[in-house]
Amino acid sequence: MTPTEQPTITDTDDLCVATIRTLCMDAVQAAASGHPGTPMAMAPVIYTLWQEFLRFDPDDPAWPNRDRFVLSAGHASTLLYATLHLAGVRAVDPTYETLGGPAVTLDDIRRFRQLDGRCPGHPEYRWTSGVEATTGPLGTGVATAVGMAIAGRWLAARFNRPGFDVFDHDVYALCGDGDLMEGVAAEAASLAGHLGLANLCWIYDNNHISIEGGTDLAFTEDVATRFIAYGWNVTRVGDANDRTALGRAFETFRREPHRPTLVIVDSQIAFGAPTKQGTAAAHGEPLGEEEIRATKRFYNWPPDAHFLVPDGVYEHFAAGVGKRGRAERDSWLALLDRYREAYPDLASQLDLIWGGQLPDGWDADIPVFPADDKGLATRDSSGKVLNAVAARVPWLVGGSADLAPSTKTRLTVDGAGDFQAASPGGRNLHLGVREHASAAVANGLSLSGLRPLWSTFLIFSDFARGALRLSALMELPVIHVFTHDSIGVGEDGPTHQPIEQLASLRAVPGLLVIRPCDASEVVQAWRVVMGLRQEPAALVLSRQALPTLDRARYADAAGLARGGYVLVDPADGDPEVILIGTGSEVHLALAAHEELTAQGVRVRVVSLPSWELFERQPAQYRDQVLPPAVRARVVVEQAATLGWERYAGPDGVIIGMRTFGASAPLRALQTKFGFTPQAVVSAARQSLAAVSAVGDPA
């Protein structure tokens, strides 16, 4: 680097801010894609936070008591990438990164938004160390931060002891107008205010610009008053470039003992751009070479320099966040050593949490359910198993979108209690009628090491889809519990009867969907999901009672772990027809099996509770369960039929829902929509006839 390439900026802090700005501009321009305006405006904010306040060690960006920074305005990703690079954050996830190397190199920034690069268009958890969450759709990031703040308070309440503040970190989230327009942000802000999460700070980039133009086109509310009504502490910084005022705002947050804090920062999008500052044109497209040259002149920056990091910038970051963060981490590690000596049992639990492990004997108390023709709703048996597990896994915490009495997800073990502002050690979260925020909060809990579950009715999983999808994208072992799984809801009618939800859940890559048929399969389902470390699961459970099968007569429910298994076979000979079901419909298949067997038909019944687990099995196993030679098949499931063709085959019959449901008692609905043993028998005869008509393809 020659002296002529150096900016003419004398203040080192100003130099660092300008470096962040220009790296962001250059990255977006090189990619011919991205969002330059917000990073240019908010560079002083993120610089002040990271350099002076954030408790974060770049050499160990995953140490447990670090402060969390969540970029909810994920489109401004270059802002975070530039900061991670300049701060020298190291890569710590060997599955996705080169261990010990830089999390973000200058070449990574040059390759912004390129295939397999470390700097994707929106920050992705696991992919780049220092990224605390995949925020994705606007509003979801701040909601996830609420879960992180809840986890921080829970961990402190459970593990801190006098003189041992093992957990006292804060959670920061940077959001914009778009975040605060989204309903999930409103849900999460309301919950955070109710819970008094004083360890949570949202930084609001108030630039009055969205894609269509000025926010006054659609967003004219008084945000400050709204958050005050939520129970938040609200402070304002009138100019994003005023680092002194920013420092005061962050100090105000740190001193607030009872409320979350919203820092409203008034900014100019694309600050310094001569024709695009303060315009929608700077939001979602590159500035253009000439505009960038002019902007760099405004910054006293060499106009023809690209991806320039001036002398002294790396060193300044190292002397700021690097030195401070290392000292804070070292102090904490020394505290942890003393804590291990004073409280070895608690320290052992923390080691399990941080390692994503379960205690020895975690499943020792799981009940065994005897055969019972009356049986239990799978939501009821799930609740019993859940509490047996929770008694031995203290960091298993649960919440519901105001439906715990119906979803049977309340933890009733000794000392479980309720998480509230005055009792942050409670294990039952009351999330209110806020499905989207509930799922996002669960993600935040998981990102903090806890094992969370949340619940609602299956029909309402639609409300949570964005955060549910992100749990799969981030590979988080969140347990999504969905009950009232079919038209078995009955009189509540079609608005409450899920039809397409099962198919849509199965369509989410990386989401394990399990619909057990009885209490014994529920037990096995919980064994599977508790063993997951990098995969979310959706348990889909019935409202109505289902018989508990006699496993001396039928196959062991342990077959659930393979996704599908042969429940019963003909007494003699190979099967002529296969009946396949999930959940409550397995019992219809078994009843049809009895009738067909009495008629001399050789019948196999297959329980197929999880497509995802079944598809992971070797082809040999799958062909053993569903022999290709047996082409007469019937699939029965009280849901949309989409996707079942792969198992029914060309000659099979699928009994499912092709319309919405209706308001009526369950038995009337079953008759109307063809979910009866007689209908399954008729379908089996139809499939057998179709195979006979076609003949042997050989």
Active-site positions read 435
Residue 284's contacts (CB-CB under 8 Å, 6 or more residues apart) are 34, 35, 75, 211
Closest CA to 482 of 391, 378, 562: 378
Whole-number Cα distances in Å, 39 to 104, 209, 618: 17, 14, 48
Distance in angstroms (rounded) separating the CA atoms of residues 509 and 491: 33
**Residues 382, 481 contacting (CB under 8 angstroms):** yes
Residue 500's contacts (CB-CB under 8 Å, 6 or more residues apart) are 639, 640, 642
Amino acid, res. 613: L
Rounded to 10°, the helix 77-87/12-31 angle is 130
Closest CA to 382 of 406, 358, 357: 406
Residue 87's contacts (CB-CB under 8 Å, 6 or more residues apart) are 50, 56, 58, 317, 321, 322
Burial track 26-55 (b if 16+ CB lie within 10 A, e otherwise): bbbbbbeebbbbbbbbbbbbbbbbbbbbbb
Longest dimension (CA), the chain: 94
Distance in angstroms (rounded) separating the CA atoms of residues 133 and 142: 10
| Summary count for the chain: helices (H), strands (E) | 25, 21
- What is the DSSP track for 519-531? HHHHHHHHHHHHT
Distance in angstroms (rounded) separating the CA atoms of residues 589 and 575: 14
Which residues face 457 on adjacent strands?
483
**HEC profile of 410-456:** CCCCCCCCEEECCECCCCEEECCCCHHHHHHHHHHHHHCCCEEEEEE
**Residues 590, 568 contacting (CB under 8 angstroms):** yes
Burial track 318-357 (b if 16+ CB lie within 10 A, e otherwise): eebbbebbbebbeebeeebeebeeebeebbebbebbeeee
Ramachandran region, residue 402 (left: φ > 0; alpha: ψ -120 to 50; beta: rest): left
In this structure, what token pair is assigned to residue 34? 């991205």
- What is the DSSP track for 196-209? T-TTEEEEEEE--E
| Angle, CA of 303, 304 and 309, to the nearest 5° | 85
Burial track 189-219 (b if 16+ CB lie within 10 A, e otherwise): bbbbbebbbbbbbbbbbbbbbbeeeebeeee
In this structure, what token pair is assigned to residue 353? 């949490």
In this structure, what token pair is assigned to residue 508? 């989410």
